[in-house]
A and B are shown apart, each in its own frame.
Chain A
Amino acid sequence: MNDPLNFYGVTLQSRLLVGTSQYPSPAILADALAASKTEVVTVSLRREAGGSRAGEGFWGLIRETGLRVLPNTAGCRTVKEAVTTAHMARELFATKWIKLEVIGDDDLLAPDPFGLVEAARILCDEGFEVFPYMTEDLLLADRLVEAGCRVLMPWAAPIGSGRGLNNVFGLRALRARYPDIPLVIDAGLGAPSQASQAFELGFDAVLLNTAIAKAGDPVAMARAFALACEAGRTAYKALTIEPRDMAEPSTPVLGRAFT
Chain B
Amino acid sequence: MKIAVNGEQLEAGAATLAALLAELEYDPGLVATAVNEVFVRAKDRDFCALKEGDKVEVLSPRQGG
Give the size of the chain B interface in residues (CB under 8 angstroms): 26
Partner of A91, one of B38, B41, B64: B41
Which secondary structure dominates chain A's binding surface?
mixed
Residues of A within 8 A of B (CB): 19-23, 29, 42-51, 53-56, 58-59, 62, 71-72, 74, 80-81, 84-85, 87-89, 91-93, 159, 187, 209-210
In contact, A58 and B38 (Cβ under 8 angstroms): no
Per the bound structure, the CA–CA distance linking A88 and B60 in Å amounts to 9
Per the bound structure, the CA–CA distance linking A181 and B34 in Å amounts to 34
In the assembled complex, the CB of A202 is this many whole angstroms from the nearest CB of chain B, namely 24
B42 within 8 A of A: yes
In contact, B37 and A59 (Cβ under 8 angstroms): no
Partner of B65, one of A58, A81, A87, A209: A209
- Given A44-B61, A46-B62, A47-B6, 19 additional A-B pairs, CB 8 A: A20-B63, A21-B63, A22-B63, A23-B63, A44-B64, A44-B65, A47-B7, A47-B58, A48-B6, A48-B60, A51-B24, A55-B61, A56-B27, A56-B60, A58-B63, A71-B64, A88-B34, A91-B32, A187-B65
Residues of B within 8 A of A (CB): 5-7, 24-27, 30-34, 37-39, 41-42, 57-65
In contact, A48 and B64 (Cβ under 8 angstroms): no
In contact, B62 and A50 (Cβ under 8 angstroms): no
In contact, A92 and B61 (Cβ under 8 angstroms): yes
In contact, A72 and B62 (Cβ under 8 angstroms): no
Partner of A48, one of B7, B31, B34: B31
